[in-house]
Chains A and B, each alone.
Chain A
Amino acid sequence: MLILECPYCGVMADETDLHGGGEAHLKRFGPGSSDDDFETYLFHRKNPKGVHFERWRHVSGCGKWFHAARNTMTLEVYGTYSAQTTEPPKAIVNAVKKKHPEWEGWT
């Protein structure tokens, strides 16, 4: 049972107050996109053993979506941050790199 800090409320929220939303930073493909791009957008998800970027919603709190950088093996949380970004902010990337210098970075 995870706890994640809601970057909006500032509270450490219990997993039961949250709703997981899968991989973060997906790029939406709409009309005009190729079949491959659209299929990737709809169905292809990363499933890394290690550092992962996820979407979470503070569903019984402020109702806001946020992002979390988390390790799927150790469950360590490197940080939570605004959902209103297309890639992880520098501070989060640095926090991950500090723990895992070998990490190849977010792509």
Chain B
Amino acid sequence: MSNAVSALQGASFDGYCKVEEAGLTGMITLRGELASAGVAKAVKAVTGAAMPGQGQITEGAKGRAGWMSPDELLLIVDHADAPAVVQAASTSLAGEHALVVNVSDARAVFRVKGAACREVIAKLAPADTSVMQPGMLRRTRIAQIPAAFYLEDDETAVLVCFRSVAQYAFDLLKDAAKPGGEVFG
């Protein structure tokens, strides 16, 4: 729908890393038996991605699939496609115990771009960012809110949090990326 907007409508900040709100992103929570063939099939069908293992995020032609817990996945697709994806995955999983819900609008997504993207997140999250590589997903907190992050490439971190705290998360990332705050170099 044309009047749909993300929490911060693409706000961005140029620090020693660039911080930008990614805009509307389709996100689906899928809870189910991750070992079942049905779930893998449904994930493949809607994202093109393979089933992610523990701590992983996989990428396919239509989206990504991130491992959130032993019985939960986060599917990332185009925002406009999310309702149809929920429909398709629900139908596909009708025969087993599963829950598929659209959480696209419950989330805010940020990109932190730059060679020091791990360092910026490390100012806020207790997780070990130095071991993070593309293909890994980590759920942790940034300052006082829950967040998950993964790397699109070595210099682009994607961070997901709740929509209501988008401004807080943006302000945190801005503060962490402020010039002069470089820890190394």
Contacts and interface: CB of A to CB of B under 8 A. Distances in A.
Let me know if chains A and B touch directly in the complex, using CB atoms closer than 8 Å. yes
Contacts, number: 38
Interface residues of B, number: 14
Contact of A16 (B138, B139, B141): B141
A17 B72 CA distance: 18
Given A8-B70, A10-B55, 18 more contacts: A8-B69, A9-B55, A9-B139, A11-B138, A14-B127, A16-B126, A17-B141, A59-B146, A60-B141, A60-B147, A61-B69, A61-B140, A62-B68, A62-B72, A62-B139, A63-B72, A64-B69, A64-B70
A60 B146 contact: yes
A20 to B, nearest CB: 16
Q: Give chain B's interface secondary structure class.
A: strand
B54 interface: yes
Interface residues of A, number: 13
Contact of B69 (A14, A16, A17, A63): A63
A65 to B, nearest CB: 11
Contacts of B139: 9, 60-62
A61 B137 CA distance: 11
Interface residues of chain A: helix, strand, loop or mixed (majority): loop
Interface in A50-88: 59-64
29 contacts: A8-B54, A8-B70, A9-B54, A9-B55, A9-B69, A9-B139, A11-B138, A14-B126, A14-B127, A16-B141, A17-B126, A17-B140, A17-B141, A59-B146, A60-B139, A60-B140, A60-B146, A61-B69, A61-B139, A61-B140, A62-B68, A62-B69, A62-B70, A62-B72, A62-B139, A63-B69, A63-B72, A64-B69, A64-B70
Contacts of A61: 69, 139-140
Interface of B: 54-55, 68-70, 72, 126-127, 138-141, 146-147
A9 B54 CA distance: 6
Contacts of B147: 60
A94 to B, nearest CB: 25
A11 B70 contact: no
Contacts of A62: 68-70, 72, 139
A55 B126 CA distance: 21
Contacts of B138: 11
Contacts of A11: 55, 127, 138
A11 to B, nearest CB: 7
A22 to B, nearest CB: 22
Contacts of B127: 11, 14, 17
A16 B125 CA distance: 10
A8 B70 CA distance: 6
Contacts of B54: 8-10
